[in-house]
Structure 1
Amino acid sequence: MSESVYKIINLVGSSTTSWEDAATSAIDRASQSLRDLRIAEVMKLDIKIEKGKPAQFRTNLKLSFKYQD
């Protein structure tokens, strides 16, 4: 039986439109340099406020990927 090892990293994506777009942005960027992404777990959502209005949605993710042989 083959055993696997996974690495977990934290990422923060941002978007001016939504938390979903912020998460997608972080995953898209990570996929450019990491292979075999597995699971993204949302750890925290927050909004940067400027002049009393939402300016940026931020999604903090815990992202796992498989170590390659």
Structure 2
Amino acid sequence: MPDKTYKIVEVVGVSDDSVQQAVRNAITKASQTIRNIDWFEVGHIRGSVNKAGAPTFQVEVRIGFRLEGNAVV
């Protein structure tokens, strides 16, 4: 079995369109500076409503990525 060690970061994705797009935005932005992203987990979902009644979605996303380097013996 391969030796894998993961680091987890939490980011908040935002979208005016949908919860799903907020998750995609979070992963896309994180992938600009993080390599080896393998999985994500959605935590809290929240949002705001502007004066016109339009929602903005905010999604807390935990992103797991593999740490690089040799296996620890």
Structure 2 CA distance, aligned partners of 1:54 and 1:47? Answer: 10
SS in 1 for 2:54: strand
Q: Count matched residues.
A: 69
% identity of equivalent residues: 29
Unmatched 5+ stretches in structure 2: none
Runs of 4+ in 1 over 2 A off after TM superposition: none
Residue 43 (structure 2) pairs with residue 43 (structure 1): yes
Higher strand share: 1
Over 3 Å counting, the alpha-carbon distance change for 1:52 and 1:46 in structure 2 is farther
2:28 equivalent to 1:28: yes
8 Å Cα contact 1:11/1:62 also seen in 2:
yes
Q: How does 1:1-69 map to 2 (within 5 A)?
A: 2-51=2-51, 53-69=53-69
The TM-score, its normalising length taken from structure 1, stands at 0.89
Alignment root-mean-square deviation, CA: 1.4
SS at match of 2:55: strand
Q: Which runs of 5+ in 1 are unaligned?
A: none
How far is 1:52 from its partner?
6.4
